[in-house]
Amino acid sequence: MSLPLSRRAFGLGAGALLAASGLTLPVRAQGLVKAEMILNWRYQGPQSWFFQAQDMGFLKEEGVELEIDQGEGSAAAITKVATGAYDVGFGDMNALIDLVSKKPDEAPLAVYAMFNNPPFTIAVRRDGPIRTPKDLEGKTIGGPANDAALKLFPAYAKLAGIDPAKVTITNMAPNLREQMLQRGQVDAVFGFVNTISFSARLAGIDPDKDFRFINYVDAGMDLYSNTLVVSRKLAKDNPKAVSGIVRAFNRGLSETLKDFDKAVDAVARREPLIKKDIEKARLIATLKAEMSHPDTAKIGIGDVDEARFKRGIAIVAEANQLPRLPAVDEVFSRAFLPPAGERIKALGV
């Protein structure tokens, strides 16, 4: 799958062309902290709060000018921020744990944990022979190289009693995943439950009739998933900007909950070819399935339960044979969160 040229690359190219023609670019608003963000995936409904914060001026009110690019996978977003390609990302908490264990000085910092229910799954054909996790042995599972569920498979295999040496893993283009499963070109595929379900619908496949899901959480993998991360440099050099970004996105989420159609319109302004009805359904399903852990009622969106998070870190560290066990505060900081009273505690969907 080819992704559109990033705003950064476009801006550099446009600047060179304008300079050659003797024209100048418009002057940006003065005094704003400028940063760049990469998403977990292409523009979809469950990113609407980021765009609401941008379009409604919440980021500007916080003194931040943020460019937002679509991504290549939840795990890839962590790497992109770690390498300095981006200042902010929306990526997988467990890929972050892995990186913190190995390269703590380079790894980003999680500052706003949004997906607090684990969405990781392996989808199989409903009419196929795979009924239990053990049935995956001797089979081929496909997934995009940067898919978070694929990255977590060693951890899942350990908990589910699967011998990973007996499983063949193959990479595929993300836009081919559901079709390849339906056609029998692979026995199973990695992904997020909602990502697979709604991508299948876009491809004319009925996931309720054609697919069955083997969910990681059923093996005890009660993990956090996608989180907002920032570079350590940004957190150190401009903590006010980080707090402002988190506050703006928190407000964006509140606006999303008020009007789903308006929220999806914000996504459509970035990608006019989306099917709004599908993206609205995807947004609502994500809020219900991936952002409504019982913890939310107690601590609100954005925070983590300390004991639960420690268990999650230990699961990832043991199963992936990480060199060391990171501490909670090495991975996540609540220092940039708005007060609990300002964060959503009942999603109302």
- pLDDT tens readout for residues 84-99: 999 999 999 999 999 9
Judge whether 134 and 208 are in contact, CB under 8 Å.
no
Q: Which whole number is the average pLDDT over 188-212?
A: 95
Whether residue 269 has pLDDT greater than 90: yes
Average pLDDT (195-208) is 95
* pLDDT at position 26: 31
Region 294-319: mean pLDDT is: 94
- Residue 6 predicted with pLDDT over 80: no
Q: How many Å apart are CA 88 and CA 62, to the nearest integer?
A: 15
Q: What's residue 32's pLDDT?
A: 95
**What percentage of the chain exceeds 90 in pLDDT?**
85
Query: What percent of the chain is predicted at pLDDT more than 70?
Result: 91
CA dist 39 and 225 (Å) reads 14
In this prediction, residue 30 carries a pLDDT of 58
Residue 24 pLDDT: 30
Residue 261 vs residue 315, higher pLDDT: 261
pTM as predicted: 0.86
Q: What is the average pLDDT value for the chain, to the nearest integer?
A: 91
For residue 253, give the nearest of 26, 64, 46 by alpha carbon: 46
pLDDT digits (tens, 9 = 90+) for 117-159: 999 999 999 999 999 999 999 999 999 988 889 989 998 999 9
Of 192, 260, 266, nearest in space to 225 by CA: 192
The helix or strand, by DSSP H or E, that contains position 123, with its residue range, turns out to be: strand 120-125
Q: Write the pLDDT tens digit of every residue in 28-54.
A: 345 899 999 999 999 999 999 999 999
Q: Summarize pLDDT for 218-232 with one digit per residue, the tens.
A: 999 999 999 999 999
222 burial type by CB count under 10 A (0-12 exposed, 13-18 middle, 19+ buried): middle
Pick the more confident residue, 278 or 4. 278
Contact (CB, 8 A) for 247 and 12: no
Are the C-beta atoms of residues 181 and 154 closer than 8 Å to each other?
no
Angstrom distance (rounded) from CA 327 to CA 316: 13
